[in-house]
A and B are shown apart, each in its own frame.
Chain A
Amino acid sequence: MLSRIAESMFWIGRYLERADGTARILDVHLQLLLEDPWLDEDASCRVLLGVMGAEPVALEEKVTRLTMLNRLAYAREPGSIVDSLRAARANARRARETISTEMWESLNTTYNALTPTGRAGRGPHQFMDWVRERVATVVGIADSTMSRDEPWHFLLLGRSIERVDMTARMLASEDLRGSSGPAWALVLRSCGAHEAFVRAFGAAATEDRALEFMLLDRLFPRSVVNALLTAESCLAALEVDSVSATRRLGVRDDARRLLGRQRTDLEYRPLSQMLLDPAGEMEELQRAVSQSSEAISRRYFPRGVATSWVREVS
């Protein structure tokens, strides 16, 4: 397939997952701010903005839940939910002939409803709910209408990589807050993981168990390890066409190597070691994700160099 389209598919996946993840994280934090009247609103919101990679706010300016909501959800700045969905749709428009009409219409309808008038009457919680539902719809339609060929693998790769990143951010944000029992339940709930977790380990399970579940559970789709495994399998599928020697002699693909190393590190290191500095670990994970994303770009999305044609002049 065209490199440009592959890149678009990858980014559609990333942006959809980012919108979904951001909606989940924001929802949890708004809930926490409501439930805990002693919480320092300004500090807590600053931390979250930092974790989400938003531009820092000047110290003299007070950060409220509204500022946070505006910047991470409604603003047209990079990384906000509205901007992610807009970017996903822009990429889909460029890949219009590759994605299915149903998927396109679902994404386009979502985009059309993003205007302030389209949002009217939806409170923050309803908006987050709606975003999660729309993303699930788009992804679900893609699931059932796309062939499992290259475009599909790039879409899934983008989603998985972004999912690792978002889950890492979610876990990091919780750690930074100085966690207590119910907060963990909220994080799990925001991942749609609470019920799965309770079924696996019982309601009496500890906070460590929750972290372990979100990091290492091979069966739960939003855990870091599961997302890493999915990303690796996408890369492996994409590589099938290339030299068969790679199958015999380790892994040649930089992106796959980076992700695989992170996964095995998580799987084979004792959890106790990880718990010494979860925030640091999560940052490390995010770094690896961004490096592997760059490696994917280098390998699959080479840009046409503007000056390269000079030699073609006859």
Chain B
Amino acid sequence: MYAAPGQPRPAYEKLHAALSKLTGAELRGRVDVVARTYLDAGVTFDIGGEERPFPLDVVPRVITAQEWSEVEAGVAQRVRALEAFLEDVYGPQTAVRDGVIPRRVVTSSAHFHRAAAGIEPVAGVRVHVSGIDLIRDERGEFRVLEDNVRVPSGVSYVLENRQAVSQVLPEPFLAQRVRPVHDYPRRLLAALRATAPDAEADPNVVVLTPGIFNSAYFEHALLARTMGVELVEGSDLVCHGGRLWMRTTSGERRVDVVYRRVDDEYLDPVHFRADSMLGCPGLLSVARAGNVTLANAVGNGVADDKLVYTYLPDLTRYYLAEEPLLRNVDTWRLEEPEALEEVLDRLDELVVKPVDGSGGKGLVIGPAASRAELDVLRQRLIADPRGWIAQPVISLSTIPTVIDDKLAPRHVDLRPFAVNSGDEVWVLPGGLTRVAMPEGQLVVNSSQGGGSKDTWVIGDDATPPRPSRRPARQAQMAGPDLAPDDARGEQQQQQQQQRHQQRHQQRQQGCGERTC
């Protein structure tokens, strides 16, 4: 937020001015309101079976129009590159043939599913929804930290955070034009419908959830509710006759698009884990027959494998003939012997991550790890170099965060969300800013106790102002005086009653005038 001590960066000036007026106690009060609101509204995140309010810091992050246009273009480009890569990987594999990415990198990915080969998605969309994690390095440049094109979560918190923060911090919110985020469900539904097997014939979209014990159940319910579609569990679905159906009170109803929030491995016990009760047997066959759209497509995980990630810049140039707009974080591929050797020498200064992990699981931060931990890690890297990547420790940018009634800097990242309808990759103006709550901590994942912030993308000055509202017609809004205290008053009241009755009769006759 600050350019120099006490000197807010231009983007933060209005926010800073508004926050400076608040005392510690006032700040605390607003923090409490948010916490209570989230608890009452059930905006929760499950950790180990326990529902907790999703942690939200009231101080928003501000992104200027200029900065955002770079992020927006970069993310959209990234999604197009990922789509092209997936289409190629499950098709002709020209990138492999042309030597852009080694075959073994693709085939050894844990999420490369042969079951997905040959499934031709409608409009070529496999990445309907994506969350591209970005960080800002020391120089203020946005870099891609990782791609999430399986079942990225968090967008519901973007919607909820906006509501909560705009309510408790109306002052800075009103002082500038913050681009709204409420369009997301409508965009998502439109994209899902556009990619239905028969998009013309009023397709039936559902959201598939593993159930209430899933950590992101709140999000699944919110998306279904805001899109106005059914939220189904595996047991509600059944496949027969080459189609997917859901069980309703009036028999079975056909399903055309499944926005599934169930991982590949649990989606169809016929093809994947036979013991899974979360998916629907036969679902993949129906998808292969082209009779149902799965969003996101099966097998997408190969594209967000963290080793494949290192090839994305090259793949972008290869498929799109464009220079990547967002740079990767420098990364060592441990399966290359020289890289492995170097990383093993410098384990105590690097971050090491499993290639197929998510939610910060298995990640080791060298400077923070003990000698014993590093020894264990060393053995694991030698045993399975394909399973890991290493990155330099990047000092993520910080944003003031409320810690014990005061503001203190905490590290943040940013997950913008993109929706692909086949015609267009749309990036939600905002995204989830995640913040690491312990001091100096670099891991921001919610499953690791991280918090979140509302992300304000400031509208371009070129955006036309909204039409001002018409002034309220107060005279006509006022009700009759109901407390007359003298005879004259009573008379008035009677007259008023008569008028009311007349109006009522008129309205019943269908010719009443509108009063407000």
CB of A309 within 8 A of CB of B231, answer no
B285 part of interface (Cβ distance < 8 Å): yes
User: Range of interface residues on chain A?
Assistant: 20 to 34
User: Range of interface residues on chain B?
Assistant: 20 to 34
In the assembled complex, the CB of A308 is this many whole angstroms from the nearest CB of chain B, namely 8
CB of B248 within 8 A of CB of A3, answer yes
Interface residues in chain A, defined as those with a beta carbon under 8 Å from any beta carbon in chain B: 1-6, 90, 93-94, 96-98, 101, 104-105, 108-109, 112, 150, 238, 241-242, 300, 302-304, 306, 308-309, 312-314
Interface residues in chain B, defined as those with a beta carbon under 8 Å from any beta carbon in chain A: 39-42, 207, 212, 217, 221-222, 224-225, 229-233, 235-236, 238-240, 246-250, 269-270, 277, 281-282, 285
Instruction: Give the A-B pair count, Cβ closer than 8 A.
Output: 82
| B233 surroundings in chain A (CB, below 8 A) | 4
CB of B270 within 8 A of CB of A313, answer yes
- Could you write out 24 A-B pairs with CB less than 8 Å apart? A1-B248, A2-B230, A2-B236, A2-B247, A2-B248, A4-B236, A93-B217, A96-B42, A97-B207, A97-B222, A105-B40, A105-B41, A105-B42, A109-B40, A112-B39, A112-B40, A150-B249, A308-B238, A309-B238, A309-B239, A309-B269, A309-B281, A312-B240, A312-B281
| A3 surroundings in chain B (CB, below 8 A) | 236, 247-249
CB of B281 within 8 A of CB of A1, answer no
Q: Nearest A residue to B224 by beta-carbon distance?
A: A97
**Bound CA span A5–B222, Å:** 15
Q: Which 6 A-B pairs have the closest CB atoms?
A: A96-B221, A309-B281, A97-B225, A97-B224, A304-B235, A97-B231
| A109 surroundings in chain B (CB, below 8 A) | 40
In the assembled complex, the CB of A242 is this many whole angstroms from the nearest CB of chain B, namely 7
**Bound CA span A242–B248, Å:** 13
CB of B231 within 8 A of CB of A96, answer yes
CB of A304 within 8 A of CB of B236, answer yes
CB of A104 within 8 A of CB of B235, answer no
**Bound CA span A294–B240, Å:** 28
Q: Nearest B residue to A302 by beta-carbon distance?
A: B247
| B40 surroundings in chain A (CB, below 8 A) | 105, 108-109, 112
| B217 surroundings in chain A (CB, below 8 A) | 93
| A108 surroundings in chain B (CB, below 8 A) | 40-42
| B270 surroundings in chain A (CB, below 8 A) | 312-314
In the assembled complex, the CB of A51 is this many whole angstroms from the nearest CB of chain B, namely 33
**Bound CA span A94–B270, Å:** 27
| A97 surroundings in chain B (CB, below 8 A) | 207, 221-222, 224-225, 229-231
**Bound CA span A94–B269, Å:** 23
Q: A94-B212, A238-B249, A313-B270 are in contact. List 7 more A-B contacts (CB 8 A).
A: A2-B232, A3-B249, A97-B224, A101-B41, A112-B39, A150-B249, A300-B249
